[in-house]
Amino acid sequence: MIEKLKREIEYEYDEASKALGIEGKILMVREEAAKGRNLTDQLEDSAVKEKIEHLKDEFREILPTSPNYPRLISKLQMLEELTKSQKSTVNKDELKSEINKRLSELVDRADVKNKIETLKAEIGNPAQRKSCSCIHRVVLTNPKAVTKINAFGEEVTMVIDDVVKSSDLKVKIELLKTMVAKGGDDPDEEMKSKIQVMVAEIKKDISEAISVPELKERHERLAAELLEDNNASFGSNGSVNLEANSSFV
């Protein structure tokens, strides 16, 4: 990740030199520097070094006017943070723990709690409970239903694993840990703001990952298939079809 970021920064510098019209000067000085390595004349070598320093000063002075300057600064700051945290390693268990923490925060939200309470109320209803019990019995006695549910569970696990292995999420969590360590027990307002922004980004990434349309569609299809199995195994009034399902007796 760091090497990739370095290459991107080098590219941004090249783009800035083109936009500012000093690409030719840089190439010329580079050629002189390459020739200077083969020279034994210290005066000429000193003159080349002076040109390089002068060009650096000129480039540094006009760089903020380059169109891609904000992007360049952003990548430089990210490189600085990543370099500081390079020795830190985040293993898979730590990432899963972070994800579980964020998911717990999601479940604690008022709107989610309301949905859970509504579901509990529906399950508590005798008619609903009878229906759920019937479906549960179909699942337990129907190997195809068990296979479908297991397959869906594997898909969910794969999605979580993809989130865990995401290089972007790893980088963001690394940056968050670095920011927290840097801020200490009493971070200033700027550091608090950075931490809040990073936490929000991590939450957003996790929320988007577990809310992929494909996973929702797969869940809806699974529910429909189980309902069909239920209808095939029970009469319209909810009673067991004994002829078709002698295993229930």
* Residue-wise pLDDT tens digits, 55-104: 889 988 999 999 999 999 988 888 888 777 665 555 555 666 666 676 66
85 contacts 178 by C-beta, under 8 angstroms? yes
**pLDDT score, position 84:** 72
- In whole angstroms, give the CA distance from residue 126 to residue 23: 78
- In whole angstroms, give the CA distance from residue 49 to residue 89: 40
- In whole angstroms, give the CA distance from residue 195 to residue 186: 13
Binned at pLDDT 50, 70 and 90, residue 245 comes out as very low
Per the prediction, the chain carries an average pLDDT of 70
φ/ψ of 234, rounded to 5, equals: -125, 150
Binned at pLDDT 50, 70 and 90, residue 241 comes out as very low
**pLDDT score, position 61:** 92
Residue 145, number of CB atoms within 10 A of its CB: 19
Q: Which residues contact 32 (CB under 8 A, 6 or more apart)?
A: 48, 51
Is the pLDDT at 180 greater than 70? The verdict is: yes
Query: Taking the domains of the chain in order of start, what are their residue ranges?
Result: 2-84, 92-248
Q: How many CA atoms lie within 13 A of 198 on its CB side?
A: 21
162 contacts 206 by C-beta, under 8 angstroms? no
Is the pLDDT at 6 greater than 60? The verdict is: yes
pLDDT digits (tens, 9 = 90+) for 186-213: 788 888 888 888 888 877 777 776 666 6
63 contacts 17 by C-beta, under 8 angstroms? no
H/E run at residue 31 = helix 23-36
pLDDT digits (tens, 9 = 90+) for 156-172: 666 666 665 665 677 77
